[in-house]
Structure 1
Amino acid sequence: MSVDGWNTVLVLGGTRSGKSEFAESLVTDAPVVRYLATAPEGDPEDTEWATRLATHRARRPGSWTTEETAAEPRRLADVLASAEPNETLLVDDLGGWVTVLLDPDHQPADDVATITELAEAVRTCSARVVLVSPEVGLSLVPTTPLGRAFTDALGAANRAVADACDAVALVVAGQPVWLKPVATTTVPAAPAPATATATASVVASGADAEPTPEVQLPDVLTHTPPVVPNQEPGNPWAAPTMALPVVATGLVIQPGMELPMPDEYAGPQAVDRLATLDVPGAGLGVLDRVVGFAAATQGTSTPQAWGSVRVLLLHGDHAGGASAGTVAGESARRAAQARAGRGALARLAAESGASLQVVDTPAAAPMEEQPALSPDQVESALRYGWRLAEQAADAGVQLLVLGACGAGTEAAAAAVLAATAGAEPPAVLGRVITDSGEIDDAAWMIRCAAVRDALHRTRRSSRGAKEILAELGGGDVAVATGVLLGATARRLPVLLDGPVGVAAGMVSRDLAGQARHWCLLADHGGHPAVRLAADVLGLTPLLDLRLDLGEGANALVALPLLRSVLALAAALPVHPSLGGDESLGGVEEPGPAPDEPEPDLTEPDFTEPDFAEPEPEGPGPASTGADEQPASGWRAG
């Protein structure tokens, strides 16, 4: 069993579905990969086929070795059987292997016996193996005897290999779905060594929190207050964490995770409901998106205002040119200030009734010279962020606010955007403002150069999510990514604020594309990186206040407004003209006149009256005369 919880994986998919790319992403963490190519070279004059093969070869990293097995179908089973435990093998694909197996040049051959040998070799293989195969029926099959034989043999091979593998994934339109997930068993995490720890503290709103016992997590320590899980029936924030691979080293976070999506019907229903409310005006404007977001994430068309809110302030510095223009120790001072319940962020949190948790993340090395973090640090940071989100969900938190304070965070976010969205660093790197309010263009150029050199250093590296975090992102972006993934698993919405949060959103797309649908962006703050990432992620900022109070503080300024909108939408009754309660609407319907007979309700009249255009009682829009009718709003009444 490998460290990711599986030893063998079968990846299925149709033609051009992205199955090969997904299979390659599963082995990117291996230092050396043996690529077993099963397809024959084909007709030398078939340039289209030759181009396909060349594209596959060009995509493989230089550290991989390629072995051809097309000459003898049985050789594939021999290679798997003789593989060493420390090896990683990628077989692409079983369709080509079956094609060779049915070739008359290899007859007579017992196809069933050969497939059985292959399945047994996969089952007993001690190496880490990923096999790619086309799923039967997702591609065209010639209606010929040979075509039917190919279909039968490929179907038999897929079933036998799938049964032998630990996990099976189906890739459709580039989106993987795990058909046979790894059987998981929760294993208590080992205590972290004292040399690789990060601390977090919680400051209660408006008062200093008393110290509480430490709770150990993989490679990190955190101080958390006593919490009472909010598990009442029907509570939309109490959904359990989805089953994911867990091994002795902790939670496994890997590309292609299937996490929950918000309710696709509740959001539109909530927005449609707003048009029926007794609102004396044109409604909520663009803030109706807040109602739709809250409805989708809460799973109800009448969402409630977020009561329990927690602010996660991630503190982590980036060394090298990324932090040019910053005062040494300034970010640590801000973090200590927030821990003590002082400063702008703590005061805004107290005003909003939100708890504030300060999290120290691993410091990042100069990205222009070396990787910002090691792969082990990235894994620990992702798991740590996930557990922070789980702790919040267990405490009954209904909304997370993600902020950051650290030297060089903007440059790290710009590097992540350049790697994930192809952005030019100068276009997404904001101006450097000194403590005295002056613009420092020299420091800005140093930051740009650091990002440029880091991208040049990693030009041949993989652009996978974990590789980007290790090479460019650093500890704060890695922990923020884990927070987004953990919050998604627990159906917990996140209010983003600043470059670190949106950079984490960009990285999380490759790990679980559902994460961005649980994020809300209150204000872009005029930051170019936030603007670009929001556009890519499909997050439209609700406001344009251009606040620059620090990450997290900007969101807290907008939070009371968002809460007010949700409270108003939940409390207002339906307009009386649409069947609302007259007592709630404050309008008493007049009864019949004293001399007017009561209507006969015993025999209802089902005939439809003829429609007639009503004659206007007052002057028309082109008249210059005075209008005797009083002006009215958008809704009659």
Structure 2
Amino acid sequence: MNAHLPLIADITDPQLTQALQHKLDHKTKPLGSLGRLEQLALRLGQIQGTASPRLEQPQMVVFAGDHGLAARGVSAYPSDVTWQMVENFLAGGAAVSVLARQHGLALTVVDCGVARDIAPREAAPGQPSLLLRKVAPGTNDASQGPAMSVGQCAQALTNGMELVRALPGNALLLGEMGIANTSVASLLLARLCGLSLAECTGAGTGLDAAGIERKRAVLQQALDVNAAATAPLDALAALGGYEVATMVGAVLQAAAERRVILVDGFITSAAVLVASRLQPHVLQRCVFAHRSGERGHQLMLAQMQAEPLLDLGLRLGEGSGAALAWPLLPSACAILREMASFEAAGVSGQTAAA
């Protein structure tokens, strides 16, 4: 594969970790009383390499693409919904558009491989922007052969790396759109983790029981016809989507730059799974926003030893869960930077007898 992937260094720093924990333990509160927020603060300090982390110019990027598998009835919605939702994102009417606007997140939508051409446009200040990085108008049907060629996969990876290099800020929030992309996530989970499709496959956009069985049968065909594609990049090319491959490149680049990566749900986690199989230290830079209602997501999180911030039964995608979890991150940073210690505030600490 021609894409030159960055090397992701180990950022483990025991001395910094000890300093961060000491700082948290001596804030004006009972030990550990801020719960998971303290763990989050510790992770953000480790990613940024400082005891006073700051998040600047956060970027929500929604990667969009279509899938040949959609023609096999693996989704409750037609593939036209992909381009229609892209237009909805740009018009400001989608859930992620609303949440990005609420929380001051710059929103960029990337056409990685939508089947219909999206008209280029100039974004007004503060409005969602569109990047055209289309490799092809949708992937091939993975149940009949590879979804994309090795060269197409490499181009998508390169596109993802280049677009992150051009983005400001130090935090990347992942979102996606693509009818049938829960099928892609299920396939990648099954192939890379050696799990059965029965464990990995759920309702996606809302299939009934018969629809889920039909979906599993189609996905089994995809695994069988691409049986030789077992290495991470081979599996990505054979089973993946252009939006997922572009996201893998984006994750690798963001990790190389030590940006905080806020991961949304099942599909974005699949991109991180692939990236982590290429470069394991990617996971040191990731914060997982939520545990989705999609069947395979819990298994995927377990494979990456990830503990998400929220569990709200979400399964919309788009980056909506990442946007909802986002306010916890600047809050954790602010606690580290601004909350007083017992000594500084003149507050008595815990007594030895307690």
TM-score clears 0.5: yes
Output the CA distance in 2 between the equivalents of 1:308 and 1:557.
Answer: 17
2:300 to 533, 553, 562: 533
1:548, distance to aligned residue in structure 2 (A): 3.2
- 2:24 aligned partner: 274
1:420 to 161, 167, 192: 192
- 1:429 aligned partner: 201
Residue segments in structure 2 that go unaligned for 5+ positions in a row? 114-137
Output the CA distance in 1 between the equivalents of 2:149 and 2:279.
Answer: 22
Tell me: CA distance 1:432–1:507, structure 2 relative to 1, closer, same or farther (3 Å).
Answer: closer
- 2:90 aligned partner: 339
Output the CA distance in 2 between the equivalents of 1:636 and 1:476.
Answer: 57
Per-residue CA shift, 1:530-552, capped at 9, x if unaligned? 21121111211122222234231
Output the CA distance in 2 between the equivalents of 1:327 and 1:419.
Answer: 26
1:258, distance to aligned residue in structure 2 (A): 3.0
Say if 1:313 and 1:358, in contact at 8 Å, map to a contact too: yes
Answer 1 or 2: higher relative contact order, Cα 8 Å, separation at least 6: 2
- 1:298 aligned partner: 48
Output the CA distance in 1 between the equivalents of 2:332 and 2:46.
Answer: 15
Tell me: CA distance 1:299–1:373, structure 2 relative to 1, closer, same or farther (3 Å).
Answer: same
Tell me: CA distance 1:516–1:285, structure 2 relative to 1, closer, same or farther (3 Å).
Answer: same
2:221 to 431, 440, 453: 453
Say if 1:267 and 1:291, in contact at 8 Å, map to a contact too: no
Tell me: CA distance 1:277–1:406, structure 2 relative to 1, closer, same or farther (3 Å).
Answer: same
- 1:163 aligned partner: none
- 1:580 aligned partner: 344
- Match of 2:251, as an amino acid? L
| Mapping 1:33-52, distance limit 5 Å | none
Alignment pair present for 1:500 and 2:267: yes
Tell me: CA distance 1:430–1:272, structure 2 relative to 1, closer, same or farther (3 Å).
Answer: farther
Per-residue CA shift, 1:580-619, capped at 9, x if unaligned? 243xx6x9xxxxxxxxxxxxxxxxxxxxxxxxxxxxxxxx
- 2:158 aligned partner: 383
- 1:399 aligned partner: 171
1:354 to 76, 100, 105: 105
- What is the TM-score with the length of structure 1 in the denominator? 0.49
| Mapping 1:246-261, distance limit 5 Å | 252-253=4-5, 258-261=7-10
1:633, distance to aligned residue in structure 2 (A): 8.7
1:485, distance to aligned residue in structure 2 (A): 0.7
- Match of 1:264, as an amino acid? D
Say if 2:64 and 2:86, in contact at 8 Å, map to a contact too: yes
Tell me: CA distance 1:283–1:456, structure 2 relative to 1, closer, same or farther (3 Å).
Answer: same
Output the CA distance in 2 between the equivalents of 1:293 and 1:418.
Answer: 29
The share of aligned pairs that are identical, in percent, is: 26
Output the CA distance in 1 between the equivalents of 2:182 and 2:351.
Answer: 45
Say if 2:51 and 2:336, in contact at 8 Å, map to a contact too: no
- 2:56 aligned partner: 307
| Mapping 1:539-550, distance limit 5 Å | 539-550=306-317
- 1:262 aligned partner: 11
Tell me: CA distance 1:534–1:635, structure 2 relative to 1, closer, same or farther (3 Å).
Answer: farther
1:569, distance to aligned residue in structure 2 (A): 2.7
SS in 1 for 2:291: coil
Per-residue CA shift, 1:421-455, capped at 9, x if unaligned? 01111212122444xxxx52222222211210111
Q: Flag the structure with higher helix content.
A: 2
Say if 1:324 and 1:446, in contact at 8 Å, map to a contact too: no
Output the CA distance in 2 between the equivalents of 1:430 and 1:294.
Answer: 32
- 1:287 aligned partner: 37
- 2:116 aligned partner: none
Say if 1:322 and 1:451, in contact at 8 Å, map to a contact too: no
- 2:180 aligned partner: 408
Say if 2:185 and 2:266, in contact at 8 Å, map to a contact too: yes
1:281, distance to aligned residue in structure 2 (A): 7.8
Per-residue CA shift, 1:355-413, capped at 9, x if unaligned? 00101112221110121111111010000111122112xx2x12101111111110101
Per-residue CA shift, 1:65-85, capped at 9, x if unaligned? xxxxxxxxxxxxxxxxxxxxx
- 2:146 aligned partner: 371
Tell me: CA distance 1:433–1:512, structure 2 relative to 1, closer, same or farther (3 Å).
Answer: closer
Say if 2:265 and 2:289, in contact at 8 Å, map to a contact too: no
Alignment pair present for 1:512 and 2:284: no
| Corresponding pairs, count | 327
1:315, distance to aligned residue in structure 2 (A): 0.8
SS in 2 for 1:361: strand
- 1:330 aligned partner: 81
SS in 2 for 1:388: helix
Say if 2:229 and 2:238, in contact at 8 Å, map to a contact too: no
SS in 1 for 2:262: strand
Per-residue CA shift, 1:192-236, capped at 9, x if unaligned? xxxxxxxxxxxxxxxxxxxxxxxxxxxxxxxxxxxxxxxxxxxxx
RMSD after superposition:
2.4
Output the CA distance in 2 between the equivalents of 1:516 and 1:286.
Answer: 18
SS in 1 for 2:326: helix
1:558 to 310, 313, 325: 325
- Match of 1:421, as an amino acid? C
SS in 2 for 1:357: strand
| Mapping 1:45-444, distance limit 5 Å | 252-253=4-5, 258-265=7-14, 266-279=16-29, 283-304=33-54, 306-320=55-69, 321=72, 323-362=74-113, 363-392=138-167, 395=168, 397-434=169-206, 439-444=207-212
Output the CA distance in 2 between the equivalents of 1:259 and 1:335.
Answer: 32
Q: Which runs of 4+ in 1 moved over 4 A?
A: 632-637
1:636, distance to aligned residue in structure 2 (A): 9.4
Output the CA distance in 2 between the equivalents of 1:263 and 1:295.
Answer: 11
Output the CA distance in 2 between the equivalents of 1:518 and 1:281.
Answer: 26
Structure 1 stretch 318-327 or stretch 422-431: which is displaced more?
318-327
Say if 1:276 and 1:574, in contact at 8 Å, map to a contact too: yes
- 1:156 aligned partner: none
1:294, distance to aligned residue in structure 2 (A): 0.4
Structure 1 stretch 267-276 or stretch 478-487: which is displaced more?
267-276
Say if 2:63 and 2:109, in contact at 8 Å, map to a contact too: yes
Say if 1:318 and 1:406, in contact at 8 Å, map to a contact too: yes
Residue segments in structure 1 that go unaligned for 5+ positions in a row? 1-28, 30-248, 588-631
Larger radius of gyration: 1
